[in-house]
Structures are given as C-alpha cells and as structure tokens.
Chain A
Amino acid sequence: MTENGLLHLLENTPFTSDLCIKCNICTAHCTVVPHTDLFPGPKHVGPQAQRLREPGAPSVDHSVDYCSGCGICTLVCPHGVRVMEINTQAKAAMVETNGLSLRNWFLGRNEVWGRLGTPFAPVLNFFMRRRLPRLLAEKTFGISARGPMPRWAGYTFRGWWLKRQRARRQTDRPPEACNPARTVVYFHGCATNSYEPHVGRTAVAVLEHLGFDVIVSPLRCCGLPMQSNGDFKAARRYARTNVAWLEPYARRGIPIVGTSASCMMAFKSDYEHILGMADEATRTVAAGVWDFMEFLRHLHEQGRLDTTFRPLERRLPYHTPCQLKAHGIGRPALDVLALIPGLIMQEIDADCCGICGTYGYKAEKREIAEAVGGPIVEQVAAGGFEQVVCDTETCRWQITSLTGAETFHPVMLVAEAYGLHMAAVDDPLPAGRGAP
C-alpha cells in the first residue's frame, strides 16, 4: 500500500495489526456491530483478518464492506492498532479485486454533482425532496430514499469568492507574496461549495474580522468520499493535487484552515495512513492544517483572538463528529464557545451520528446508519433541543434528518457573537434537511 517508504515499519498501517492482543475493546465500541450480523466487527475484519491477508493476492473477505469507517475502533484501541485504516485499505483491495460499483463511484464524486447541479438547484431541490424520484433512485441505484439529501444553494462558494475578488480587484496571492503572520488559506470543501456556501462565507467573515488576509484554495475534493468507497486511485489523484497546491503555503508557515473536520482529517492523517502517501510534502501539509475551531482556540491561547463577544443566552447541545475525535485535539469548538458569555454548551455522549460520509446514503446500510445515530436522537429529545451544533456537513444533515433539529457549524455562533452574521452573511441558509 505504501507509495513511499515509512521510516519505521510498525507505523505502517497494515503492520499495526502486530500490536493487537484481541482484547475486543474495539468490537465492544464498534458503532455498527450491534445493528447487523453482516459485520463481524472491527477486530475481525481489521487486525485479525489482516494477519491472514496475502499482499498482492486477490481480496477474499468482503464483510469489511460493512465497516462505516467512523474510526471509533482506532480511537479506543489501547495498543495503537490502526483498525479503521486497515479496514479502509482492505476495502480498496476489495475494489481492486471486484471493481467499483456504479453507485459507489457516483457517491464518491459528490464534488462533481455539487458543481454540475448548481445551475439546476430549484429543480433538483424540488425533485430530490419528492418521494417518488428518491424511491426510484433507491431501487435502480441503491441510494437510500431516506438518506439526508442536501439542498443545492444555487451558487457556489468558490463562485462567490471569485466574484468578490474581482469586484475588489483582488487575486489570491501566491505563497511567497504572503505575510505568514496574517494570512490564512481557507479550504472550503465540496459541501460548503455547493450546498452550504454560507458556512464558507461566515468563516471568511470571521477570519477577516480577526485581521487575516484570506486565500481560498481552488476547489478540489479532499478525496475522502472516494477513499472511503475504496477508490484509492481517484482519491490519490485528488490528494496529490491538493498537496501540491497547499504545500508551498504550509512550508511558509501559512495556516490552512477548514470548516469541514472530515476533510481536515484527510489532510492530517488519511493521506499518509490510509492512502500511503508518506512523503515530506504530505507531512508538511498535515502539520500545517487546522480545523477551523482549533485555529480559533490556538489564536486564543496566543492571546490573538478578539474575545469581545456579545452574550448569547442559549443552551445548546454539541455533537463531536467521529472525524473530529480522530484529530486528537479535544473539543476546540467547546473551548472557543465557552468564551461567549451566556452560551452553555452540552456535549452529546455519542460516538458517531451514523452517516459516515457516504455510508448512510447506501440503501442496504441506511437502517444501520439510523440506528447508530440513536443516542443523539435520545439526548436531543431528552433535552428538548431544537438546534444542534456540529462541525461536519454530512453529520449535520444526518442529525437534522434524524432529530428534526436545525443543525449548524459552531462558526455560526462565533460570527453571531461577533455581531457579524447579519452584515457579512446576507442570506444564511438552514442546514440541509432529509427527504420528507
């Protein structure tokens, strides 16, 4: 799997199976295992099967397809086995042997559909919220009729940015022309681009409020949807393009921040540990990438965050996406939101919302995905909450579809507390809602 050699073999994802002592803690915490017999559990399809997989030989075990990739197994493992990463690589081996299904190819290209669909937003939004076309898509394609379909915004974040730059007669500066102390590269991701451009616009507004020059990276999917569907070839293509573009900024010490915790995790870890890109450029980017709220917390620790927040007298639940847990940075959103007077955040005790990128859109897995999100539904209902805060897009759509609560990114609260949101973000859109 490794493209370039790692210096130390025990760090190489498949070889971490050497560390497994079969304690089954991962299986006990797997979010999928309780809800289906089709998945024998992370220890079984992970380190246990890995020991018996022959490199280069055709893939023989396919139950790994039911792994959702939430990565809780990797987190709870006390021994350093990269369970989820092993599973994802096994999925890629499976795709190499069996080929990629049309459905999974389609789901992996969210970026393309987002862009292509933008001009047809009203029509698509109408049809994608009707039962019949969704059932048709489920029957013919295997895309669940209950999967939470995002709403096309009708314009793209990237388009908005370029238009604004043109209007201001500005262009994004190349890395060598930037002042690293006051420049930030914003990576918006596909979902922000096509479905939730208001999140990107809010993020830009907050960064500019804090005095940063913002550079927006050209849109490239991070590759994660392809990666989680086992299409490593395509994922690597995107990953290399992203690394090539971002690396000169990272090398200059210019922070790369993003509002999608899952994309950021792809940069920080997946490129190396799943796609096997163990080169210096990839590592430089990984070390220079920040989750948006992590970056704000970092500014605060350095005394650089404006903390003149307006009070927000609210009590809100917060869901930490599994992808954000995998960053290992704690709960930066809670740390930052704790600075806003009056705002009380309650962390929901849930490992995963169940959607896991494209997993919860697959007809045969939708029921599992909904069951995995159960604890969130319970806790949101128990607290009588009508809003939920969460850092990643598909999680937000899933939570909204499961609970009916409006779900939004923590940056929205920051902007509101700065008094920015009316001025800088003229048309905040509600988060996507599931099909009726």
Chain B
Amino acid sequence: MTVRECDVLVVGGGATGVCAAYDLARRGLSVTLADMNDLSTGTSGRFHGLLHSGARYAVRDPESARECIEENRILRRIAPHIVEDTGGIFAASPDDPPDYVPQWEAGCAAAGIPVEPLSAAELLRREPALRRDLSLAFRVPDGAVDGFDLGHAFSQAAAAYGAQILIYHELKALTPADGGMRATLHGKRTGETVTVQARWILNAAGPWAGQVAALAGAELQVRWSRGVMVAMNIRWVNTIINRLRPPDDGDILVPVGTVSVIGTTSVQTDDPADARIEPWEISRMLDEGEAIIAGFRGARALRAWSGVRPLYEPPGQDAQGREVKRTFGVVRHEPGLTSVVGGKLTTARLMAEKAADDVCDALGIAVACTTADEPLPGERTRRYHMLGHRLQELESGRMPGPLICECELITRPQIEEAIAGYDAPPALDDLRRDLRLGMGPCQGGFCAVRAAGILRHACDLPAGDAVDALRRFVDERFRGARPLLWGQHLRQFLLDELIYRRILGLDVVEESPAGAAGELPGWAAERSPVPAAPDRRLIVVGAGLAGLMAAVFAVQAGARVVVVGAGLGRLMLAPGGVQAGPYADHPGVAAFRAWCADFPALRTADGGPLRLPSALGIPRSLSFAPEGLAGGNLDCETPALIVGLAGWRDFDPVLFAGVAGLERFRPIHVDMPGRRGGWDLSPTELAHRFDAPAYRAEVARLVQGRLRGEGRVGFPAVLGLHDPGVREDIAGRLGAPVFEIPTLTPSVPGTRLYNTLKRWLLEHGARVQIGHPVTRLLDENGHVTGVAVASAGRETLIRADAVILATGGLYGGGLLSDDRGRVWEPIADLPVLAQNERAAWFRPHLLDPRGHPVHGFGLAVDEQLRPLNREGGPAYPNLFAAGHLLGGLEPVAGGYDEGLDLASAYAAVRAALTANRD
C-alpha cells in the first residue's frame, strides 16, 4: 500500500479538476489529482467542443454570459494553443421570435460581448452551406476547444508546478484523519490501493460530485441532464453556428477538426454514467441541423455520443433542464471537503479559482489566484487543428511510408511509432485514440486489417492474436456506429461488412459448407432457357454482376440492350469466385460459367465446391472460382510459398500463412521492383504493373531464388489486369503453378470480370453507359416504355420494350434509407420488404454468422421476377428485377451472393424476352 501526502487532493480529472490542480499548485500548495478513468473522459470529453462567447446566455442568464466572455478571453490568452479561433455566428430565420433579437443584442451589450452584424452576402460568402433564410446574422467571439487538449494542457501545467496526477484511481473512502482527510484510492490498472493523506479535499467530480460528497458524509444535490451530440462526417461549416433564439435542443453546430458536431439534447436522467443514445435524439439533432443547413438530414453522421451535465441546484430551487442556470456553486462541507459543481467547460478556470479560494480560506492560506495572469508553462504544441495539417505533411514528404488509414491520413511509420510507446501490445482501439486510426468515414473498414498486420509484426504476435485483435476492433467500431446506420453510412458498413466477411473471412467461426440456407424462391424453379428474341429492345438498369450478366444473356438471345449504370457495381469489390449456394445448378449460374470459359483470365477450375483461403488465410467455401484463385485450394496438400511485396499495405503473407498453417504455407517478402508507388498503391495499380513483361520477370526472378521446392506459389491477386497470361508466365518462370489470394478492394479479379464483360458487350453491339442514374420509368397505359436518365443539363429518355432493374440493394443504391427507418426504392417507388424499426436492422455483432435482417430488405416479386405493387400484383407487365434488389432473401448468411445475381439475371431476362410478345 502506497501512502502519499499532500495539501490538497483534487478528486476528478475533468476540466475543473485539472484547472483547480493547476491553480492550487501555482499558489504553492502540494496537490494530488485523482480520476477513476483517464483525464477528460466524463463530461469534459463528451461535449461539442464549444468555447462560449456567452452570447447564448445573454438573455436568460446574464451572470453566465459575463463569466463566459471573460473566461473566453482569459483562455485565449493563457492557452492559445488549445483554442481554435473559428469565431461564432448567431443567425435567425424569419420564423424565429422577432422580439428575441433586440433583447439578445441588449444582453450581449450588457455582458460586454462584442457583436458584429453580418450582411446576408457576407454570411453567404463565409458559410455557403447555411440556409438562405438564416439571413439575420451576427458574429461573436465563440471558439472551438477540444476537451482532451484542455485536460492535457492544464494537467501538464499543474505537473510543471509539482502536482501529482493519478489516472485510473477510483476514490473508495474518505475519512477524517490526522487533522485532515485520508482518501483511499483503488488503482484500476495496477490493482494497488493508494492512500492519500491530504489537509483538504477538493471535490470536482462533476456528475459524481454527490457520490464523492457522500463518502465524506455530506449531502450535495446534483441534477443530471444528458445531452446527445452527433459528429457529422465532414466540416459543413467553418464557423460555429448558433441559432439566434432562446436556447433549445440542437441549435449549435461546431466545426471540430475534420468533422462538425451538432448538439445537444437535454434529458433528465438518474444515472451519472448515462451514455444512452435514443433514436429520437439522433433524429431530433438531424431535424435541427436541417433547419440550419438544407439537406443536412441526408448528410452522413459518423459518431454519436452523450454526456451528462452536472447541474447544480442550490437548496430551495426547483428548476428543470435548461431552466437550471449554468452558473456554478462552491460548497464547503465540514470537515475537510469543498465541492465545486455546475458550470460549464468555458468557465472551468473560474470555477477552479473560486473553489481554490475556498480551499485556501479553509486552510488559512492567503495567496491570490494567478492563473489568469500568464500563459500556461511548458510545451505548447498546437495539436488541435488537424485539418489540412496531415495532408500537407504527406504531400511534403515529411510523412513517408504507405498510407494505412486513408481517411485520417495515418502512415505505417506513425503506427509503428505509436506501438513502440507501449510496454505491452496495445489494442487497436488504443491506436485509434492515439492517432485517430479508424475514426474517419470508413470506420476501420480498410485500415483495421492493415494495422493488425503491423501490430503482429511490431509486437511479434501470433497470427491468431492479431486476427482476434482485429475482430475486437471491428466489433467496437460497429457498436459505436450502429445507432447511425442509415443512408450513406449504412452503405459504408455494408462495404466494410463485405470486406470483413467475403475478403477477410472474419465471420467464419467454424467451417460450414456454403449454401446451407433453405428454400429457393418461386422464380428459381423454372429451368427453361432464354428464348431467342431478335430485335427486342431491353434496358438493364445497373452495372453490377446481375445487370451486366443480364445484358449478356439478352444479347446472346439477340436482343438490343442498353445498360445504364449510375456507377459501377459491387462486382468491383467482391473477391472473385462464385458463391452460388442453393442456386448452384440454376441455368443462369451454368450459363455464366460457360461464358467465362472463353476468357483465360475468367475460366473457372473444374468441379467444385472449393475451400479457398481468404486474404487472412481463413477457409471460405466457394461454388467455383477462376483457375487463378482455385489454385489456392486448402484441401490440396501441396506446400505453398506465399509471396508478399515488401511495403505493400494490402497483403501480409506472414499473417496469411500464420492463419492458414505454417506447416504448409511459407511466407516471404520480396522487394517491389521499380517505382514504389504513391501513398495509396491500390491492387489494380499493382496489377497494371504486372501487365508489363519486364516487371513480372523481375518479380519472378526475386521469388525464384527463394523457392525451396514448394509445389505451388501464392501471390496476392494482382497478377495482371489486361494481360490474361501473367500468371502462366510467372508459373513458367518459377516452374511451379501460381495462384492468387484475394486482397482488399478494389478487387483485381472483379475488375477483370467487369472489363471483360464491358468489352464483350461493346463488341456485340450493346450499349454500356455508366455515370448517370435512372431517375424514373416512362410508362404508357400501364406498360413501361423506357427510362429517364439524369444526364447533364436535363434528362435524357431511352425507350425499350422491357426494363430490368438490377440496381442493387442497400449497398448498391437500388434502395435508399433514412434515419427514421424508412427504406424506399427511388426509381419507381416500388414497395419494399423492410422493417421500419431501425434498431432491428442489425444484430448486436457485425460478424454474426446469421447475417442481419437488413440483408433481406428488397423488392417482393412474382414468379416472373416482376416487382409487386402495393396490391400484391405485378407493378407493370414488362418491368423485372434482378440481383440484390430482390428482398426476402439471405445472400450473406446463405452464402449465395453471386448465385442470386446470376440466377435472377437469367430468370429476369427469360421473363423479359418472353412477356407480352404481340
């Protein structure tokens, strides 16, 4: 047991606690600060980042307003490096109460808050995203401050004056002893008990202040009010935006680093640790954001969190929520304890000053506060403003190495340096906090697996441990994002999920044959071939596997086909190979395989199903695969050399071999010949290089010297994009068969398939037009007659005898969704099979082998694959659907992603070319 002695023990490492520790230490007292977690992990780290000018309180709470503007100025003076001088704007719309503005201006004047009117033109110039009706605007000296930066700055300053900081130490008991107080602390990470003998205790425990007071037998009334904040994916505004109206929910939008934060709600709670985020709170924030920026609701929300405000209520008052004044109280409890409670982050220094005054008074020390007088001592690195900084570092060459986190721009050496700072192997989540790894839009989809490889290498972990670390990180990221999965962020997670499942195989818990899922839909029963249909005009909407193969089947039948794709489909992302599941013997699947046979790069290996390794060496079942991938068959006993390219971020042979089995798979790295590539060396770019004979000859030469009689050699799937002979060429040079292993997206096998499909279609007279979405169907007398495309300038109409929708599901964009749980089909507003309760869309774990309810959302169709209308009949006699747009199925859990696309494409073409032939 350790015993420490000091003058004052500060309980709580939030903003007030660290400021008080600094204040008391400056006055010459010996100070210990203890927090049960890390610094700023409570309320101070869970707010929106606004350094108030005070204008928000100018009308209702003039005292707070005055305190805010004074403290705002002091903080900019003493700690300029933690304040981002964004400035603030208060803006009113014509709907806001008109009498509020003069009151507010008078309040600001009385509080001494400088207010500068902005013309509508100037406002528009500064903030083009704001709603035009927010035209009555004023500039105020708001600022942005990061709670973690503030905590670090003041705790470092306190430490410079000799204060001791104890994080992860929870206060367990407070007893009067030896003329002072004795505090018993439990070290949560060390397991040790620490006793602090202090002359006085300063209780700055925020929401837990009542509990701390109770340990000393004192009573302190703290009300808790929970507020939810939502961080939007990008910086929609560059200035803090406040609504110029009486303070309410969601009327502040704060740009912080790469994101912008909207807050907050105010909900009474009886739990100081309440971290709930209710769906209505998220929707409320979006509603309010929509009132500031038109279209806000459609923007991406990246993270949400909630914080608990400790509101101080002096005895005798009985106000609620926002009614409780945001001033603070300093309360002395005998013997030996002072509590400071209430207030806000902006006034933390002032609260600390008043509390320290009380402590000094109690201890009979007459030293005045000087924290407002000079800047904080010590190092002053401006850490806060990340926007642009990393981009500049990267461009200037000061951040060498491959880019691992593409969203927040983090390179391999930075991750290695961060890992080196830990004694024991850190969790990937620790690296996230250190570097913002996985905090950007993709939420770890790409960087997590790369970082797991780096962690394995740096800490010499067994491969299985690195994969476990990856699984944990994936789970944690998903837990944080789950309340926000709709619209574009949902599409992001469906992509991430595809990477985790199909490419990495992280969902495979135990080997189970693919396609265990049950009954086939009615349309799949018909097995007759597509009839010849010369000159029938067919439009296929969508350029994924279903759309392009539908076009192929139709062209083979003699139809005139136009493919219209808003962009490229999921085909580019899947790892190659076909999961057909129960559709394995459908004629569409067979017809695809037969079509592939004409192209050396696509030709599939005989037989099936196959057990092929994922990018992490985890076995995954496929019905069949191109010869290049099939060579990696895990049922084949032949030992293999696994080749990685040194410095390339998207394939780690050591991790692969460690998982797949070192007794059969031996990993090596060879240097990449020639150009090293930029920061983002994608698989397709590398594949282009292999197209050049000299390049692959050099790689083969490097590998050849390292072969030790292995009967096959595995490379990441980058062996040529246009030249189908690359693999055979390398195999010839090595004297051993060569196979490919899937990599992160974009997938080279998928890109080869797309390129081949497109070339074939053009050569056979079909049109493939990519880049502009179909916005609506054209119809006459209940028949579809064509589609309208949102082309540049105005829409373009295309006519046809039948239309097949292969626009994809929620990932592909064939279905859209919003925060209220609405799921819709945007082209024809066809009814969608979906659940409206957003909380039910996903199971708690992203990698659940049973998949998620959201995978089953889609259109209901009849046996001719015609989408049903609301009455249950076909919506049009000549409109058909195919691919992942179909609902009520389980392509992920059932293991028939490609099987569904191919079978339904074939069946839809058959139906489209058969229907209504006059």
- What residues make up the interface of A, taking CB atoms closer than 8 Å to B? 1-2, 5, 7-12, 15, 17-25, 27-29, 33-34, 37-41, 43-44, 48-57, 60-63, 74-80, 265, 267-269, 286-287, 289, 301, 325-331, 334, 346-347, 349
Assembled-state Cα–Cα distance A278/B342 (Å): 48
Assembled-state Cα–Cα distance A236/B326 (Å): 51
**Are the C-beta atoms of A25 and B793 separated by less than 8 Å?**
no
**Are the C-beta atoms of B128 and A28 separated by less than 8 Å?**
no
Nearest 5 interchain pairs by C-beta: A75-B771, A78-B567, A328-B791, A328-B772, A268-B793
| Given A75-B567, A328-B791, A349-B758: A60 in contact with B392 (beta carbons within 8 A) | yes
- B372-410 CB mask vs A (1 if < 8 Å, else 0) is 000000000000001110111011000000010011010
- B277-299 CB mask vs A (1 if < 8 Å, else 0) is 00000000000000001111011
**Are the C-beta atoms of B388 and A24 separated by less than 8 Å?**
no
Return 25 A-B CB contacts under 8 Å, by A number: A2-B128, A11-B295, A12-B128, A15-B236, A15-B299, A18-B233, A21-B495, A25-B745, A34-B689, A40-B678, A40-B679, A48-B409, A49-B391, A50-B234, A51-B258, A51-B440, A52-B391, A54-B238, A55-B238, A78-B566, A80-B773, A269-B793, A325-B769, A325-B771, A329-B796
Complex: chain B residue closest to A76, CB-CB: B568
CB A288 to nearest CB in B, in angstroms, measures 8
CB B469 to nearest CB in A, in angstroms, measures 22
Complex: chain A residue closest to B447, CB-CB: A22
Assembled-state Cα–Cα distance A60/B395 (Å): 8
B391 cross-chain contacts in A, Cβ below 8 A: 49, 52-53, 60-61
Complex: chain A residue closest to B747, CB-CB: A28
**Are the C-beta atoms of B258 and A12 separated by less than 8 Å?**
no
**Are the C-beta atoms of B488 and A19 separated by less than 8 Å?**
yes
Pick the contact of A268 from B129, B680, B792 — CB < 8 Å?
B792
A269 cross-chain contacts in B, Cβ below 8 A: 792-793
**Are the C-beta atoms of A21 and B769 separated by less than 8 Å?**
no
Pick the contact of B488 from A2, A54, A79, A331 — CB < 8 Å?
A79
Assembled-state Cα–Cα distance A301/B295 (Å): 37
Q: Name 13 extra pairs, CB < 8 A, besides A9-B129, A23-B572, A51-B258.
A: A9-B296, A18-B488, A34-B688, A43-B680, A44-B678, A44-B680, A49-B391, A51-B440, A61-B395, A74-B771, A78-B565, A78-B567, A327-B792
CB A207 to nearest CB in B, in angstroms, measures 20
Query: 8 Å CB contacts to A: which residues of B661-700?
Result: 675-680, 682-685, 688-689
- What residues make up the interface of B, taking CB atoms closer than 8 Å to A? 124, 128-129, 132, 233-236, 238, 258, 293-296, 298-300, 386-388, 390-392, 394-395, 403, 406-407, 409, 440-442, 445-446, 488, 491-492, 495, 562, 565-569, 572-573, 675-680, 682-685, 688-689, 745-746, 751, 758-759, 762-763, 767, 769-773, 789-794, 796-798, 812-813
| Given A37-B678, A52-B258: A286 in contact with B792 (beta carbons within 8 A) | yes
B492 cross-chain contacts in A, Cβ below 8 A: 21-22
A63 cross-chain contacts in B, Cβ below 8 A: 395, 678
CB B605 to nearest CB in A, in angstroms, measures 25
B678 cross-chain contacts in A, Cβ below 8 A: 37-41, 44, 63
CB B563 to nearest CB in A, in angstroms, measures 10
Complex: chain A residue closest to B542, CB-CB: A78
Pick the contact of B682 from A15, A41, A51, A76 — CB < 8 Å?
A41
Assembled-state Cα–Cα distance A28/B722 (Å): 13
Assembled-state Cα–Cα distance A267/B132 (Å): 26
**Are the C-beta atoms of B488 and A21 separated by less than 8 Å?**
yes
**Are the C-beta atoms of B567 and A77 separated by less than 8 Å?**
yes
CB B716 to nearest CB in A, in angstroms, measures 15
Complex: chain A residue closest to B766, CB-CB: A347
**Are the C-beta atoms of A328 and B488 separated by less than 8 Å?**
no
Complex: chain A residue closest to B683, CB-CB: A28
**Are the C-beta atoms of A21 and B569 separated by less than 8 Å?**
no
Pick the contact of B388 from A5, A25, A52 — CB < 8 Å?
A52
Assembled-state Cα–Cα distance A63/B394 (Å): 11
Assembled-state Cα–Cα distance A43/B682 (Å): 11
Pick the contact of B129 from A15, A38, A57 — CB < 8 Å?
A15
Assembled-state Cα–Cα distance A52/B440 (Å): 11
Assembled-state Cα–Cα distance A51/B566 (Å): 23
B395 cross-chain contacts in A, Cβ below 8 A: 60-63
Assembled-state Cα–Cα distance A248/B567 (Å): 35
CB A278 to nearest CB in B, in angstroms, measures 10
A79 cross-chain contacts in B, Cβ below 8 A: 488, 491, 567, 813
A301 cross-chain contacts in B, Cβ below 8 A: 797
A2 cross-chain contacts in B, Cβ below 8 A: 128
A24 cross-chain contacts in B, Cβ below 8 A: 680, 682, 684, 745-746
**Are the C-beta atoms of A349 and B759 separated by less than 8 Å?**
yes
CB B300 to nearest CB in A, in angstroms, measures 5
**Are the C-beta atoms of B770 and A75 separated by less than 8 Å?**
yes
| Given A27-B685, A49-B391, A76-B771: A22 in contact with B234 (beta carbons within 8 A) | no
**Are the C-beta atoms of A10 and B562 separated by less than 8 Å?**
no
CB B424 to nearest CB in A, in angstroms, measures 31
**Are the C-beta atoms of B676 and A22 separated by less than 8 Å?**
no
Assembled-state Cα–Cα distance A51/B684 (Å): 24
| Given A48-B407, A79-B567: A331 in contact with B769 (beta carbons within 8 A) | yes
B794 cross-chain contacts in A, Cβ below 8 A: 286-287
A27 cross-chain contacts in B, Cβ below 8 A: 680, 682, 684-685, 746
Pick the contact of A286 from B129, B675, B793 — CB < 8 Å?
B793
Assembled-state Cα–Cα distance A312/B308 (Å): 79
**Are the C-beta atoms of A17 and B679 separated by less than 8 Å?**
no
B441 cross-chain contacts in A, Cβ below 8 A: 20-22, 51
**Are the C-beta atoms of A330 and B238 separated by less than 8 Å?**
no
Pick the contact of A8 from B295, B387, B685, B770 — CB < 8 Å?
B295
**Are the C-beta atoms of B406 and A48 separated by less than 8 Å?**
yes
Complex: chain B residue closest to A78, CB-CB: B567
Pick the contact of A330 from B234, B258, B298, B562 — CB < 8 Å?
B562
**Are the C-beta atoms of B445 and A328 separated by less than 8 Å?**
no
Complex: chain A residue closest to B297, CB-CB: A10
A7 cross-chain contacts in B, Cβ below 8 A: 294
**Are the C-beta atoms of A22 and B793 separated by less than 8 Å?**
no
B128 cross-chain contacts in A, Cβ below 8 A: 1-2, 5, 12
Assembled-state Cα–Cα distance A50/B406 (Å): 12
A325 cross-chain contacts in B, Cβ below 8 A: 769-771
Assembled-state Cα–Cα distance A74/B803 (Å): 25
**Are the C-beta atoms of B388 and A54 separated by less than 8 Å?**
yes
**Are the C-beta atoms of A328 and B789 separated by less than 8 Å?**
yes
Assembled-state Cα–Cα distance A315/B890 (Å): 48
B394 cross-chain contacts in A, Cβ below 8 A: 61
Assembled-state Cα–Cα distance A325/B564 (Å): 12
Assembled-state Cα–Cα distance A286/B688 (Å): 38
**Are the C-beta atoms of B682 and A10 separated by less than 8 Å?**
no
Assembled-state Cα–Cα distance A39/B566 (Å): 26
Pick the contact of B407 from A18, A22, A330 — CB < 8 Å?
A22
Pick the contact of A25 from B568, B685, B688, B812 — CB < 8 Å?
B568
Assembled-state Cα–Cα distance A425/B398 (Å): 60
Assembled-state Cα–Cα distance A28/B495 (Å): 16
CB A257 to nearest CB in B, in angstroms, measures 13
CB B388 to nearest CB in A, in angstroms, measures 5
Pick the contact of B745 from A23, A265, A347 — CB < 8 Å?
A23
Q: With a 10 A CB-CB cut-off, give which of A25, A34, A74 has the most chain B CB atoms.
A: A25
A327 cross-chain contacts in B, Cβ below 8 A: 791-793
**Are the C-beta atoms of A44 and B567 separated by less than 8 Å?**
no
Assembled-state Cα–Cα distance A80/B566 (Å): 8
Assembled-state Cα–Cα distance A334/B569 (Å): 25
CB B738 to nearest CB in A, in angstroms, measures 22
Pick the contact of B751 from A28, A77, A326 — CB < 8 Å?
A28
Complex: chain B residue closest to A14, CB-CB: B234
Assembled-state Cα–Cα distance A40/B395 (Å): 10
Assembled-state Cα–Cα distance A287/B794 (Å): 5
B294 cross-chain contacts in A, Cβ below 8 A: 7-9
A44 cross-chain contacts in B, Cβ below 8 A: 403, 406, 678-680
**Are the C-beta atoms of A9 and B568 separated by less than 8 Å?**
no
A9 cross-chain contacts in B, Cβ below 8 A: 129, 236, 293-296, 299
